[in-house]
Amino acid sequence: MRAILFILILAILILIGLFATGLLHLQQTRPAQLPSVSSNGTSVTTRGGQTPAFDVETGKVVIGSKPATVKVPALTVERGGQPAGNGATTSTTTTTTTNAQ
């Protein structure tokens, strides 16, 4: 029961979102009419009603491609023995230990 209620609430929220963003627009083009029933002393006559008609306009999502020129940065890889060209400095620390006995 909770799942059905959750799905119903979710569907209503989606419809509200579609109307609010303009992706869905409904306009009634023909009104509804109830069936008419008339009695004539000994007989009853009925005439059918009319269902409403709607004009539905939906949003359009266009997906396509176009040629574009993209500037890609150059990447250079230098070996470890060569100095870096980006201004970085390397330092070497030498530690000497002596054991006195």
| Per-residue pLDDT at 30 | 93
Angle at 32 (CA atoms; ends 26, 34), nearest 5 degrees: 160
Is this prediction's pTM over 0.85? no
CA 19 to chain centre: 15
| Per-residue pLDDT at 58 | 87
| Per-residue pLDDT at 97 | 53
| Per-residue pLDDT at 28 | 92
- Within the chain, which residues score under 50 in pLDDT? none
Phi, psi (degrees; rounded to nearest 5) at 74: -80, 145
| Per-residue pLDDT at 53 | 94
| Per-residue pLDDT at 100 | 52
